[in-house]
């Protein structure tokens, strides 16, 4: 039975989850501003206490590798490294965009299962999922994920498994305008998901564009984390660095100190 600690701090939402035997059994989240550093370790301790276990009872620690907030990623990775150094447990890293795709697959499946039978056909069968992390102004960090096996029985609980979504492009910073992703939208319905999706809904007006404004959650990391764990894709704890995509640029405060 795999027992994994999951840490997601790449955006304004700080969240942690504890998974056992392929299911999330404890979860914590907070959207309090700038609280990642004070809450992440506390959340993990609370979850372990809730299950009456210790860190030594876990098999691995999974953390968001980015892209995302520089400060948020540093907090998450530092916490994960501390847990792994102290316990000797392996560390797994999951891309923030991969987490959003897994989250989208879960939400779409839940929507389908919640619909009455005659309404199932009205749920969009997305050809692409386009996760977006807000990079300020009209820029987002994004990539294209394609559904490569076709849509099976949409009434099945196994519809939209994360393994069916394959990355079609690399992660890039992209400035959004009215023509963004036009070539993909012409091919079929696209789901834009993430904390950068909302600001794009006023710009991208194509009828095949669907939007879900949300933050990535630790609970959605489970599927890609389990895949990495089973394949023994562990990170070097000493040398691992988050995927910032852009270099951090420090600014000088304009406030007068004296």
User: 11-20, 55-64, 101-110, 125-134: lowest mean pLDDT where?
Assistant: 101-110
Q: Quickly list H helices, the chain.
A: 36-50, 70-87, 96-114, 182-185, 222-230
Confidence band for 109, pLDDT divided at 50, 70 and 90: confident
Q: How far apart are CA 20 and CA 229, in angstroms?
A: 13
Neighbours of 207 (CB within 10 A): 7
The model's pTM: 0.87
Q: Given a cut of 90, is residue 210 above it in pLDDT? A: yes
- In the chain, the domains with their CATH numbers are 3-95+217-230 (3.30.420.40), 97-213 (3.30.420)
Q: Specify the pLDDT at position 161.
A: 54
pLDDT digits (tens, 9 = 90+) for 133-185: 999 889 999 999 998 755 444 334 444 455 688 999 999 999 999 999 999 99
Q: Given a cut of 60, is residue 116 above it in pLDDT? A: no
Decide if 83 contacts 5 (C-beta within 8 A).
yes
């Amino acid at each position: 039975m795999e027992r994994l600690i999951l840490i997601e701090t790449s955006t304004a939402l700080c969240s942690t989850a504890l998974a056992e035997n392929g299911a999330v059994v404890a979860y914590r989240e907070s959207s309090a501003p700038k609280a990642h550093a004070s809450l992440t370790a506390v959340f993990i301790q609370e979850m372990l206490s809730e299950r009456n276990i210790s860190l030594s009872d876990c098999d691995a620690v999974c953390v968001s590798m980015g892209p995302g907030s520089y400060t948020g990623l540093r907090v998450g990775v530092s916490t994960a490294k501390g847990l792994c150094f102290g316990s000797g447990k392996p560390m797994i890293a999951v891309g923030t965009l991969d987490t959003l795709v897994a989250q989208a697959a879960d939400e779409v499946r839940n929507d389908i299962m919640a619909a009455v039978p005659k309404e199932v056909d009205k749920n969009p069968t997305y050809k692409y999922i386009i996760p977006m992390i807000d990079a300020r102004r009209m820029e987002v960090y994004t990539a294209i994920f394609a559904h490569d096996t076709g849509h099976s029985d949409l009434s099945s609980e196994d519809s939209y498994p994360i393994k069916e979504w394959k990355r079609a492009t690399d992660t890039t910073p992209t400035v959004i305008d009215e023509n963004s992703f036009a070539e993909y939208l012409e091919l079929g319905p696209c789901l834009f998901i993430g904390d950068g999706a909302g600001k794009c809904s006023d710009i991208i007006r194509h009828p095949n564009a669907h939007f879900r404004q949300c933050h990535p959650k630790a609970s959605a990391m489970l599927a890609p984390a389990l895949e990495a764990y089973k394949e023994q894709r562990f990170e070097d704890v000493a040398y691992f660095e988050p995927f910032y995509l852009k270099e951090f640029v420090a600014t000088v405060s304009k406030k007068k100190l004296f």
